[in-house]
Structure 1
Amino acid sequence: MTPAVPLLLLGLVDSAFSGFRAYAGRDARIRKHRSNLRSAGRGLAVGAVLLLAPALTALLVLLASSERARTYRALTAGGWGYLLPLGPYAAAVLLSLAAYFTLPFRAGTLAMVIGLGPLTLLRPAVVAAACLTAVLDGGGAPALLVGTVAGAAVLGVEPLTHRRWYREVQ
């Protein structure tokens, strides 16, 4: 089994959250469900385009390799290694979101501030850890290259979405 599908799904979900974060705090209206969905959709669209970069990088690495089977195994091992820090991180994010949506207002808000605030700040470190574990899990240089491109792609969604749709005009 290949780790590409879970990695793609995580990347797309993260992109939707990045689109939401690019928009968050810009609208003082109480009811902004449509705006929230639109911002998440924008992040998802940007992320879908940016996530083509690691897919193409992996394809080029495979095509350029003289030992494709070995390179494929290395990329697969690196992909599973990439998931090692991302899995617990995603679980912590989901736990914070579940607490926010199920607990009473004050407790849910506290869970959001205690959980998602620090987790958002830790995102770049988790991506760096994912690159490191991709190498350490047997992926080597090919997995590091693809992982770095993937990390740059997911970390680039929020700033690009912000710049395109939410930048303040001066």
Structure 2
Amino acid sequence: MTPAVPLVLLGLVDAAFSGFRAYAGRDARIRKHRAIARAALRGLAVGATLLLAPVLITALLLLTAPDRTRTYNVLAAGGLGYLLPLAVYATAVLLSLAAYFVLPFRVSTLAMVIGLGPLTLLRPLAVAAACLGAVLNGGGESALLVGVIAGVAVLCVEPAVHRRWYHHALGKPG
């Protein structure tokens, strides 16, 4: 099984959350479901565009490889190694989100503060762990290259969305 599909889906979901985080706290309206959905879609669009970079690099590596089967197998092993730390991280995020939506208000707020807050700050470390996992699982330099490019892409979504649509929202001149 190729880990490409789960990795792309994970990257796109992360991009949607990044769009939401770029918008969060910038609007005092009570009913802001449309604005939240718009922010998530903006993150998704930016993320999908940025995630084309690792896809193109992977295609280039495969097209220029002397032994495509071997290169594919190495990239697949690296992708699986990349996926494992991200799956652990995503599980922790999902548990925090589930606690937020299921538990009573005070406990869910605490779950948000001690769960999602620190997990957001740990995103770069999760990407670094994923890159290390790609190498340790036999992905070598090519998987590390694709992993670093993918990691930089997902980490750049939130700043890109913020800069494009929300940098002026806190009273700063547009």
Shorter-chain TM-score: what band?
over 0.9
Residues in 2 aligned to 1:71 and 1:163: alpha-carbon distance in whole angstroms = 38
Q: Give the aligned partner of residue 20 of structure 2.
A: 20
SS at match of 1:25: coil
Aligned residue for 2:90?
Answer: 90
TM-score, length of structure 2 as denominator length: 0.96
- Where 1:135 maps in the other structure, the secondary structure is helix
Q: Which residue of 2 aligns with 1:159?
A: 159
Deviations 1:64-84 (A, max 9, x none): 111111110000000000011
Q: Residue 31 of structure 1: CA displacement?
A: 1.5
3-state SS of paired residue (2:122): helix
Shift of 1:23: 0.4
The residue type equivalent to 1:118 in the other structure is P
Q: Provide structure 2 residue ranges, at least 5 long, that are not aligned to the other structure.
A: none
The residue type paired with residue 153 of structure 1 is A
Within-5 A mapping of 1:38-57: 38-57=38-57
Deviation by residue 1:100-144 (Cα, 9 ceiling, x = unmatched): 011111111110111000000000010011011101100001100
Q: Which residue of 2 aligns with 1:35?
A: 35
1:164 CA displacement? 0.6
Instruction: Trace 1:18-167 onto structure 2 (pairs within 5 A).
Output: 18-167=18-167
Gap runs ≥5 in structure 1:
none
What letter corresponds to residue 40 of structure 2 in structure 1? A
Match of 2:11 in 1: 11
**TM-score between the two structures when normalised by the length of structure 1:** 0.98
RMSD: 0.7
Q: Which amino acid aligns with 1:15?
A: A
User: 3-state DSSP class of the match of 2:106?
Assistant: helix
The alignment covers a number of residue pairs equal to: 170
Question: Which AA in structure 2 matches 1:124?
Answer: P
* Identity of matched residues, %: 74
Whole-Å separation in 1 of the counterparts to 2:35 and 2:4: 31
SS of equivalent to 2:97: helix
Alpha-carbon distance in 2 for matches of 1:98, 1:56: 35
